[in-house]
Amino acid sequence: MRKIYNDEITLVDILLGIILLVVPLIVRFKVVTLSGTITKIWPTENYNYDIFSYYKAKTLIILTLICFALFIFFLYKKE
């Protein structure tokens, strides 16, 4: 019977694991002080609580670009 999968763990597998396991854990709780006219239309007092996801998005983009580059490298390496 023919094997469909490969038993080796490659660098791409490790990076995909990091994307799936570590990136969702990157959060930073930030209290944003509201000022000016936005305090009149905001439903809460003078603060907004935000789970800051800038670093999560930045990490996700960087790791995705690395995985894409490795995918292209391995694609041309096989040919």
Q: Which residues contact 71 (CB under 8 A, 6 or more apart)?
A: 12
Structure tokens at 35: 């000022």
pTM score, whole prediction: 0.59
Integer Cα distance of 60 and 62 in angstroms: 6
**Hey, where are the domains in the chain?**
11-78
- Give the pLDDT confidence of 27-77 residue by residue, as tens digits: 888 888 888 888 788 777 788 777 777 788 888 899 889 888 888 888 888
CB 50 within 8 A of CB 32: yes
- Give the pLDDT confidence of 10-31 residue by residue, as tens digits: 777 888 888 888 888 888 888 8
